[in-house]
Structure 1
Amino acid sequence: MSVTGTVSPGNPALGRMFLLSKTQAILTWVFVLWIFSGAFVLIEPAPYELLFLLALGLGLASGLRLHRETLPLLYIFLLFVPFGLIGAFQVRRMELVHALIYNLVTIFLFLTSYFAANYIAQSPFRRMRLLAKAYLAAAVITALVGTLAYLNLIPGGDLLLLYGRAKAFFKDPNVYGPFLVLPAMFALQRTLLGTRREAIWGGAAYMILFVGIFVSFSRGAWGHLAASSLMVFLLCFFLEARTQDKVRMLLLAVGGAMALSAALVGLLNVEPVAELFAQRFSVTQSYDTGETGRFGRIGYAIDLALTHPWGLGPLEFSWLRIAEQPHNTYINVFHAYGWGGGLTYLVLVLWTLGRGAAGLVHRTPNRLLLIPVYATFVPLVLLSGIIDTDHWRHWFLVAGLVWGVVAGRSIVVSEQCTGQRALP
């Protein structure tokens, strides 16, 4: 028997609420799997793409809320789409279908950024914690596998190396290394501001990721880790740390520097490691210097970008006078997507930087969620000047997280209610 219609077994509204709650629960697990799968991209389409499509469908079915503060990200995405499609038709030597696939991948990654922003904004503390756990688990596994493969301690380890450098389940060490930086920042922040248990586990995770990044022998990843770590330390120290926290952080900084130095010395005592380190640390490698080197070809690439308003088409540069790509994302986007697409991409970068900086200015519980994400994004922006990042899955994820955390700042996480800091 029912007193009101809201509890009647035959009430359609009750059935819809039940289905909605189940869909949302499934979406949570799919979201976790999607983030975790970002470490496994040996094949394309990777599980990351397939799980995102599933997450997007479940999000639409479960009534994922689109936040007003993420609307600029939507406008940027919609503005980029036509330029991305037009740019694909500018190719002369590459097959059109391959050019379309390349630019559609970029459009797809823009969409992942917008989805992540809105999903995180709906419940920033809970969902950032889920993301941090999934990402950190995937990263630690990947770093361990990459390190063991580099040390020839697992069978078939050669499949996880490229040119003697660890790449784990990625195609390129230069992507594998930077992928590990965001989870390293999550671990570092917990080491600096977490409970004693969190600090121990965070420190152990950071050390594993440090070694994993080192054996990638990616100079960009080394610099990325160093810059992001410094940003996390300074932002936590000056924006969030209490007096007792600051003393602890200074002691940890000294102890951590000594531990990392000891680990580095131990690695460099292995002769093959020392030789490859010296080679990679050199700033005069053959492909960096000369008219056709990494830096010398940038002038030629800029000239081409200025004289082709609709772009050259993706990867068309390698068919011209210089076979190697410019390895500068901010030039490549003008080549691949034309002036309109290139400028739209720059707007995305600059607006995300500004949105994140504005989020750090205001003291909210969400600021602790933002610090590791923003400290990862800023060096990524700089790294894009010397390497191609316009197809890095985690680049677009990090950009979306900046927008999502800032958009969710109105959803207050009370330390008095949770009994803990709002750490991801």
Structure 2
Amino acid sequence: MTVSGTFDAALGSRWAGADFVRQRALKLLDGVVALWIFAGGIVLIEPSPYEVMFLAVLPVAIMAGIGLYRSTFGLLAIMLCFIPFALIAAIQVRFTPVSEALIFTAVTIFLMLTSYFVANYLAESTEKRMRVIMRAYTVIAVILAIIGTLAYLRLMPGADLFLRYDRAKATFKDPNVYAPFLVLPAMFALQRVLLGRGWQSFIAAGVYFVLFVGVFVSFSRGGWGHFAASSLITLVLVFLLEAGARDKVRILLMTLIGAGMLIVALGGLLSVPAVANFFELRASSQNYDTGETGRFGRQGYALELALDNPWGIGPGEFRNLRIIEEPHNVYITVIHVYGWGGGLLYYLMIIATLWKGTVMLLRPSPYRLMAIPVMATFTMVVAESAIIDSDHWRHFFLLIGMIWGLSTAIANERRVSARREQMLI
């Protein structure tokens, strides 16, 4: 492996007990990471429990001597170059308190740091650590999908706490963030359904169905499209890259059966008049999509504003100007929130991640099975970001870190294949 250095080297030169501490920290690290990922499903305030838990993860990782890989330094360089531009933009605010603007910017920088950590965390012991992350993620996603569904159906006490505008949001602020959060574990479940065997495939099918319903009751059009498109991408990539001749026949049959079951389930949901009426409303064009102050009108104004302010206007300023709603396009938002420099670096982070992800899909590797659901989800988050502000989505930065980490693992792996059951999550 190509390692630029490890934290425990410095400890070893100063303290004879460093190996003992490192071993204990290594045993603790995976558990702390699992709790941190689990906390990613609770985002009602900023900083959220996710950020607080990461403050526990970082010192444990340092004591465990986690390696820093040269192949992830590009991600670190982007973050370090981004910081001054983002801070300069934060102090340009006129309506928003500077303290609030700095907190918003600090959260962005912090989330970038989590990407860098995940990249290095997954670069070694990849199979085991990927399971740690995805098991914790799947557990919290299934819990939230169940909560969201029960709340929407008014089958639980305090249902209104988990709804917004009669749409499921669970423990998120917005249904449009809750729905995309459920996609990644659903894609891993779908992949296991397509390639797995035995009872685990049936469990995976159940997980996929629960998450499908959870996304549906969010009534997020972006979430619906994200789930459907990511499922299609996962199906196609598995079919083309990982399936043998027998697998392909099985996948085609299962796809037909699964699609039929989902249609039946959707039909069952739409048989409820209130659900059908709300679905029809959400599926049609919305008033806030059109006109000068609609979604696309706001985006045009935001772009003009961004181009007129190279240093940015800072977080929270846009809604205090001519239009009170955000532009809901992260590619425009980052230019006026973080300035031209910060925006370009944000673009660079996304482009570099897409490039790394594409390269690792084209290279045969035992870890490619893990990469397929991650890339199927990430590419659609990138696409959805054109109609929503995703720059504070915790799972977006987690996906970036996962891609960089898997890319490093694939580059350092000499094997081109491994037993499938060993690599399916």
Same fold (TM over 0.5): yes
Tell me if structure 2 keeps the 8 A contact 1:191–1:202. yes
Q: Does 1:399 align with 2:400?
A: yes
Q: Which amino acid aligns with 2:325?
A: E
- 1:74: which partner in 2? 76
CA separation in 2, counterparts of 1:322 and 1:17?
58
1:40-51 correspondence to structure 2 within 5 Å: 40-51=42-53
Q: Tell me, yes or no, if the aligned pair for 1:415 and 1:421 is still in contact at 8 Å.
A: no
In structure 2, which of residues 87, 100, 106 is the aligned counterpart of residue 85 of structure 1? 87
**Structure 1: distance between partners of 2:283 and 2:415:** 44
What residue number does 2:5 align with?
none
Q: Are the equivalent residues in 2 in contact too, given 1:413–1:422 (CA < 8 A)?
A: no
Structure 1 segment 175-214 matched on structure 2, within 5 A: 175-214=177-216
Structure 2 letter corresponding to 1:394? H
Distance in 2 (alpha carbons) for counterparts of 1:392 and 1:328: 13
Contact 2:69 2:120 in 1 (8 A): yes
Deviation at 1:63, TM superposition (A): 1.0
Look up the equivalent residue of 2:388 and give its one-letter code: I
1:29 is matched with which residue? 31
CA distance in 1, matches of 2:102, 2:42: 24
The alpha carbon displacement at 1:413 in A equals 6.7
Q: 1:214 to 1:13 in 2, by over 3 A?
A: same
**Maintained 8 Å contact 2:367/2:423:** yes
Compute the displacement of 1:341 (Å). Answer: 0.2
Alignment deviations for residues 165-209 of structure 1 (CA, whole Å, 9 cap, x no partner)? 001111111110000000100100110111222211111100000
Q: Is the 8 A contact 2:313 2:337 kept in 1?
A: yes
Q: Contact 2:365–2:416 (CA<8 Å) still a contact in 1?
A: no
2:144/2:170 contact within 8 Å kept: yes
Give the deviation of 1:412 after TM superposition.
Answer: 5.4
Structure 1's unaligned 5+ residue stretches are 1-11
In 1, Cα distance between the equivalents of 2:368 and 2:77? Answer: 25
Kindly report which structure 2 residues correspond to 1:359-398, keeping only aligned pairs within 5 A, or say none.
359-398=360-399
Contact 2:303 2:332 (C-alpha < 8 Å) held by counterparts: yes
| Contact in 2 for aligned 1:235/1:371 (Cα 8 Å) | yes
Aligned-residue offset at 1:379? 0.4
- The answer as to 2:139 corresponding to 1:137 is yes
Q: Shift of residue 122 of structure 1? A: 1.4
**Aligned equivalents of 1:168 and 1:40: distance in 2?**
9
Q: Superposed, which structure 2 residues align to 1:130-279 within 5 Å?
A: 130-279=132-281
Structure 1 CA distance, aligned partners of 2:350 and 2:336?
17
Task: Say which is worse superposed, 121-130 or 44-53, in terms of deviation.
Answer: 44-53
Alpha-carbon shift at residue 119 of structure 1 (Å):
0.3
TM-score, normalised relative to structure 1: 0.94
Aligned residues between the structures: 411
Whole-angstrom distance in 2 between the partners of 1:91 and 1:364: 48
Amino acid at match of 1:111: L
1:25-62 Cα shifts (integer Å, max 9, x gaps):
11110001111111122243322111111111111121
Shift of 1:236: 0.4
Task: Answer yes or no: is the 8 Å Cα contact 1:374–1:402 preserved in 2.
Answer: yes
For 2:6, the equivalent position in structure 1 comes to none
How many Å apart are 1:218 and its aligned residue? 0.4
Q: Cα deviations across residues 191-248 of structure 1 (Å, max 9, x unaligned)?
A: 0111222211111100000000000000000000011000100000000001111111
Aligned partners of 1:265 and 1:413: how far apart in 2?
A: 46
Partner of 2:9: none
> Does the residue aligned with 1:287 lie in a helix, a strand or coil?
helix
2-structure distance, mates of 1:37, 1:300:
36
Following superposition, the deviation at residue 414 of structure 1 comes to 8.1
TM-score, normalising length: structure 2: 0.94
Judge conservation of contact 1:73–1:348 (CA < 8 Å) in 2. Answer: yes
Which amino acid in structure 2 is aligned with residue 264 of structure 1? L
Q: Return the offset for 1:271.
A: 1.0
Residue identity over aligned pairs, in percent, reads: 54
Once residues 102 and 48 of structure 1 are traced to their aligned partners in structure 2, the CA distance between those partners, rounded to angstroms, is: 15
Q: Secondary structure at the match of 1:296?
A: helix
In structure 2, distance between residues paired with 1:278 and 1:216 = 14
CA contact under 8 A between 1:415 and 1:422: conserved in structure 2?
A: no
1: CA distance, partners of 2:31 / 2:424: 21
CA RMSD after TM alignment: 1.4
Question: Is 1:322–2:329 an aligned residue pair?
Answer: no
Paired with 2:405 and 2:46, the residues of 1 have a C-alpha distance of 27
C-alpha change, 1:78 and 1:158, in structure 2 (3 Å) is same
**1:34 corresponds to which letter in structure 2?**
W
